[in-house]
Structures are given as structure tokens and as C-alpha cells.
Amino acid sequence: MNRMKINRRQFVTGLGLGGAMLGLGLGSNNVFSAPKHGLQTTLRGSNFNLSIAQQLVNFTGKLRTATTVNDSLPGPILRFKEGENITINVANKLAESSSIHWHGLILDSKMDGVPGISFDGIAPQSSFTYQFKAKQSGTYWYHSHSGYQEQTGVYGAIIIDPIAPEPFEYDREYVIMLSDWSDENPDDIYAKLKKRSDYYNFSERTTSTLLKEIQRDGVKKTWSARKMWNQMRMSETDISDVSGYTYTFLMNGETPNEGWKGLFKKGEKVRLRFINGSAMTFFDIRIPGLKMTVVAADGQNIEKVSVDEFRIGVAETYDVIVEPSDNIAYSVFAQAIDRTGYARGTLTPDLALEAPVPPFDPMPILSFQDMGMGDMSGMAMGDMKMGDMSMDGMSMGNMDHSKMAGMGSMSKTMQPSITHAKTEYGPHVDARASNPQYRLDDPGVGLRNNGRRVLTYADIKNITKTQDRRDPSREIDLHLTGNMSRYMWSINGVKYSDAEPIALKYGERVRINLVNDTMMNHPMHLHGMWSELETGDNNYLPRKHTIVVQPGAKISYQVTADAMGSWAYHCHLIYHMGGMFREVKVS
């Protein structure tokens, strides 16, 4: 089977891989194994040479073809300094076009690495030289933006050391790259999702769960809930499109059976740079027995926040500092959002010690608010006018809103109704949120009220003042839309191939309002410019390159159009990206 076959748009990213396996170089007798115990290959300086090629790998006992950077999975860590002029020569040894996108880096559009938008791509058996100035510092990453090469292995970490001293101290550090690997051909995964969107969901409700719900909630409430979900042709267990049924979840390329290890000495402060380089998987991360102090989000230093757990969306990065006070091993546990698998590692004072893996949390169940219906926790299912519910999904324009009056848990920004574009009504859209809310203080499905202190977007405050404090001159409303039964994704009901670019005027300040009309989390990534998340204090807006929009929720952020050229803007879930994508033109 030729895993490298490409039959989708050239700019769409690919499939996460790692390196806790033996790899046999195709056409070569060289045998490599991924670096163990945190000793990943790090390239330092201002000039780098990278080579993209095919490689045989074995995660599950079966040889499969992957794509690698410098014969390494993950690719080597690139480390350079803020303010330096960087040159990166990339040789493409594949039989197809390739590319590398420098995720989160602020640079010239021609160096952004998105085929079809910022350049033509790197032709087979040729090379391309990226040149840019490092304008920032922090934790970032790189990945292919061609076909499914990201998911089949082309990704790695970027660490940019700052000119000024860090506002926090630590004694040692590790990069922790999370990813998801499948032995299946990515084209085959996508084809299965197109035929049946719940193909990889083995957590559907059963007779046994029905009996438990009746015992807990009573017959009337349980029957009403089941009736509602059936009428909407949706599943309250639809958390991830692709699950642990096909994915093996990796930490620094290590499978859960092997596990990554990082050494520490008692009393040290250890900085962990978490990067979610997966194709489709959100992870919930905790280190039982250790508090984590979050010090950076998407490469930008933030006010310190002490937490027990945090969710990291696809393409996000978080830096945390931990202080092990005992000479014992600690488990670094990253469970997939749908609880179908996990990646794991161990922080240990001795490589002979290994921490036990904690049990899974309960399987998440979507709620009313995840359906874009607001917080209806205080209303019995029987109170809903089921006959008035639109059968195209969550559109509830005729619902009796008087039943929701006086519910104190409702957000002040919640609206009883919301405007949808005409293009959202049609075969491309089967769900529309009638009552989406700003839920910045919501940890998300599966993490609510779990007894642990969980990071939320409301906790993130930039450590330096917002640079551009002008009021936005205009607002752009974008609805994240889809048809799950047909597995079609879009923005405002229009897929990328049929959409006009989003036009921004150079220098203007705009507010982007995202409304998630689906029941899936969407990590939205705007290339080339910072997305400054509105969290309530405009003087300290956190700067992010990837913003997760929760199911049935809305979120707003400000953008200064300070980068001329054409830029990609898309959901970073690989099988959503072909439709949930826009070109942004700044002129």
C-alpha cells in the first residue's frame, strides 16, 4: 500500500506520528530508534538543514510507511534565539510535493509554508530555503501542510530562546510532544468517516446504560432525553471523530506500552513544554501528586496559574513548571478527550522507577450547552417542546424560552436567539446553535466538576500589556458548521472551495466572533497574525495562535492586520480542514 497517495487539496495537513519504534530507512540499511528518555535530537543555531523522506516504522507490531524529518520521529527539535535571522533548507526526497509550516511564528507570508496560498510547495526531489527573523520567543512547532504528511510523521518542536530573562525560574526542561498514529492509510480513515461519521465511535449508548439512566433519572426523563437525541439524529457520546480504536497515542514518539521518561532531582523546578502535534486528538493532562504552574500559552508568557489538569487542543502549546518534592516517580498522564486511549510518560529520579498509570475518567457525555442550547440543567426534559425542535439539529427557534427564566447559571452574554446566514440553511449544515454562550470559564465536556482544578481560558492573562488597544473598527461573524451524517465541514455553511477570501485592510483592528454550531471542539488557527482572546481585560489580552471553540459555544478575539499577503485560516483537525478553511488576504 502506498501511504503517500494524495487525493485531496495540497494544502491540507496530515497525520501525527512519533518515534518510539524501530525504523528502517527505505532504500537504506540504516536502522534507527527514536531518542529515549527525553534525549531527543536538538539542532541549535541559525542555519538548519532538514530532509523529508519515507521511513518504515513499527508502533503496533506491523511495519508501516511513514514520513520523517532527518530520519527522526518526531522530527528534531529546532532551537534558536529571538532576534536572529534564521535559514532553514528543506530537501524533499519524496515522490510528491511537500512543505513545512512554522506554526505560530510571525514571519513573511512567502515563508509561511502553505502550498496554494503562500507558495507552490516543495517539488519532489527538490529543496526550498526558508528565511525569516525570529520575532518572538517561546514554545512552537512545525509540520507539513501537504496532504496527510503531518499525520504520517512530518512534525517537530521549535524552541525560541528569549533575549530578555524569563519571568520565572527552572532547573531543567523537557519538550513533550503529543500525537496520534494509525496503521491505517489516512485516505482510508477519511473514506470511512465519509461513509459513516461514527465509524470509530464504540461508546454509543446500550441497553445496560439505558437501565442505569432509568435508575438514576427515572423513566420519563430518560425517555425524553433519548427521544430528543434520536429526533436530532445525534449522539451525546460523539466526542471524537477518530478514536483509540485505530489510534495509538504517543508521547515524544513513545507508545503507552513503553512510555517516555524524564529525569529530575528532588527539589528541582522542571519546565515541561507541552505541544499537541496530533491530527485529531484533544488530550487532558495531569501529573498525579504534582501541581502544575502554567507559565505560557502558545509560546506567550502568562500570569502564573496553578492547576491540577489542563486540556490541550490540537496545535496548542502550554508550558508548565512542576516541583517534585519526593524521590518518587510521577506519571505524566495524557488521556484522550473521548477516554479511548492515552499517551503517557514518567518523571523520575531514577530510570529504573516507573509511576503507575492512573485510571481513565468516566466517558464524557455531551450536555445541553454543548448543543448550543444554553445551560438548561434546571429544566426537565419533559418541559421541552419536542415537536417544535427543528429536525436539522440544534435549531430551537420555537422552543419555550420562558422555561429558562431566572436560571442564575446563565451567562450575561447569552442571547435567546442568534442570527444565522442564509448559507447555513441547506444540505451542508445539519445543526445550528440557537443559544450559544461565551464559556471561557468552562473546562469543557468531561472535565466539569471532576474535583480537580482545571485550567480554563478565563485563567489566561498575558504577562505584558496588549500592544494595540484600539477598539476594533468592525466585526466579522463566522459560524463553524457541518453535516455530521455526511461528514461535511464548512464555515457559514460554505466549504472552502466555494468561499471567497476574508479581506482585511492592512493596519486595521478587527474583532472575529466565532460561533460553533456543531457538537465538536474546533481548534481554529489563523496564520501570520496573533489572535488576542477577549477574556474580560482588554489591557492584558492573551495572544494565541490557536483558539479552541467549544461545542455550541461562541468566542471572540481581536486581530491587528499587520501582516501583508495571503494567509491560511482553518480548523486544525485534519479531516475537517478541507472544508472548514478560509484564505485571509491582507492588503
pTM: 0.86
3-state secondary structure of 466: coil
Q: Which residues pair with 114 in a beta bridge?
A: none
Rounded Cα distance, 309 and 320, in Å: 11
Rounded Cα distance, 221 and 439, in Å: 26
pLDDT on residue 416: 41
Print pLDDT tens along the chain (587 aa).
Answer: 333 333 333 323 222 233 333 222 333 333 344 444 445 799 999 999 999 999 999 999 999 999 999 999 999 999 999 999 999 999 999 999 999 999 999 999 999 999 999 999 999 999 999 999 999 999 999 999 999 999 999 999 999 999 999 999 999 999 999 999 999 999 999 999 999 888 888 765 554 555 665 566 776 665 565 555 555 555 677 899 999 999 999 999 999 999 999 999 999 999 999 999 999 999 999 999 999 999 999 999 999 999 999 999 999 999 999 999 999 999 999 999 999 999 999 999 999 999 999 999 999 988 877 877 765 443 333 333 323 333 343 333 333 322 322 323 333 343 445 889 899 998 889 889 989 999 999 999 999 999 999 999 999 999 999 999 999 999 999 999 999 889 999 999 999 999 999 999 999 999 999 999 999 999 999 999 999 999 999 999 999 999 999 999 999 999 999 999 999 999 999 999 999 999 999 99
Q: What are the C-alpha distances in Å from 529 to residues 111, 300, 303, 534, 571?
A: 14, 14, 22, 16, 16
Rounded Cα distance, 344 and 334, in Å: 6
Residue in the block written with cell 526531489: 125
Give per-residue burial for 521-539: e unless 16+ CB within 10 Å, then b: bbbbbbbbbbbbbbbeeee
What DSSP designation does 371 have? G
Ordered DSSP codes for 520-584: S-EEEEESSS-EEE-SS-GGGPPEESEEEE-TTEEEEEEEE--S-EEEEEEESSTTTTTTSEEEE
Residue in the block written with cell 480504536: 245
Using N-to-C axis directions, what is the helix angle for 219-231 and 207-217, rounded to 10°?
130
Rounded Cα distance, 533 and 540, in Å: 9
Rounded Cα distance, 269 and 206, in Å: 47
CA angle centred on 296, ends 293 and 298, rounded to 5°: 140
577 CB-side CA count, 13 A = 29
User: Measuring CA to CA, which residue among 549, 547, 548, 583 is closest to residue 567?
Assistant: 583
3-state secondary structure of 403: helix
